[in-house]
Structure 1
Amino acid sequence: MIPKGVRINLYLKTEDSDMAEEINTTESAKIKQKELEAAGKPEETEDLRQLLITAVEAENYEDKLKLYDKALNLDPMYLDTWLQKGFVLDRIGRSEDALACYDRALEIDPDHLGIKCLKGFAYNNLKDFEKAIECYDEVLKVNSEDIFSWYQKGSVQENLGRYGEAMKSYERALEIDPTDSLIREKQMKLLGTIYKKGTLTDSPDSNFN
């Protein structure tokens, strides 16, 4: 769903969406591993990978963060570490710190669309909805088929009371994947909100039909 290796699953366990971490050897990790092996550092590569695996398996978030910091001490240019550290920070409510990690990751790979998606999620958690939408729009300019960004953009627009725009975003996501029952459920809930109000005059999208 997200380009260049960052894999994110959506779970709508409640009315709000929750993100679940799916840990895989990503494209960036493979590239980094090849670079280190070419430089004669396979042991360092294995150490980094093992640290990340151990961090994923750790149940305590503080333990995870310590392991990520240890990995970054070994190699501050290891992209996956910044991504995973940022994700954990966002999950525990330290979204501003998460954004700092994502910005650092973008310095390493400025074209990484997955990082921009993660930034959008962090801004959403900070209730900086306009900046969140800007992040998703950046992704959609490059990849108009990114269903995650369409879904998240719709969710943020809904939070802003821009129900017509949100509905169009959900519809676009369902055009890409008509079988996505989670997004369809979100769309139906929004329709219920619209019908309950009977009008969209409270929304900038009062002309939605």
Structure 2
Amino acid sequence: MNKQLQDPAEWYQQGIAFDQQGQSQNAIACYSKAIELRADYYEAWVRRGLVLMLLEDFQPAIANFNQAVAFKMDLDLAWYLKAYCHAKMQADDFALLALQKAIALNPEQWIEMAGKESAFNQLKGDPRFQELVAE
């Protein structure tokens, strides 16, 4: 990692490179540095949350997605990933609320995906879920 970088976008790109190489901890460190340099860097919040989510560290992942949507409320990806994390933690009501928001923002993207996502299997019998994914 290049400690000399002062541009948050460069840290963000470095994080993506580490992420693509499977170096999760280095990716998290780079995204964290990008956020330290620019607190409202919502893309970095989402990316760091995604890495944490893939490491199954769901609570911190959700906290990152919450920060991202605090800066950009219409960030449907962050809402969907939040729903995924809540579903994995069996927090069904929170999962449904976040999924509802993601689908409201971008139905073309998330309805079909939610219907296929195994993380939502325990929700698929819930009438609220069925209503969300009905096309």
Q: Same fold (TM over 0.5)?
A: yes
Q: Does 1:170 align with 2:99?
A: yes
Higher helix content, 1 or 2: 2
Deviation at 1:136, TM superposition (A): 0.7
Q: Which amino acid aligns with 2:40?
A: D
Paired AA for residue 184 in structure 1: I
- Aligned pairs, number: 125
After superposition, residues 86-125 of structure 1 pair within 5 angstroms as: 86-125=15-54
Query: Runs in 1 of length 4+ with deviation above 6 angstroms?
Result: none
Of the two, which has the highest radius of gyration? 1
Secondary structure of 1:179's match?
Answer: helix
User: Cα deviations across residues 43-68 of structure 1 (Å, max 9, x unaligned)?
Assistant: xxxxxxxxxxxxxxxxxxxxxxxxxx
CA contact (8 A) 1:167 1:190 kept: no
Displacement after TM superposition at 1:120 (Å):
0.5
Deviations 1:6-61 (A, max 9, x none): xxxxxxxxxxxxxxxxxxxxxxxxxxxxxxxxxxxxxxxxxxxxxxxxxxxxxxxx
The alpha-carbon distance between structure 1 residues 162 and 190, as it changes in their structure 2 partners (threshold 3 A), is farther
Counterpart CA distance in 2 for 1:195 and 1:105 is 36
Cα RMSD, aligned residues only: 2.6
Contact map agreement 1:89 1:97 (CA 8 A) in 2: yes
Quote how far apart the aligned CAs of 1:190 are.
5.6
Q: Distance in 2 between matches of 1:173 and 1:104?
A: 28
Structure 2 unaligned spans of 5+: 127-135
Cα distance, 1:104–1:163 mapped onto 2, change above 3 Å: same
Partner of 1:129: 58
Q: Identity rate of aligned residues, in percent?
A: 23
Matches of 2:47 and 2:40 in 1, distance apart?
Answer: 13
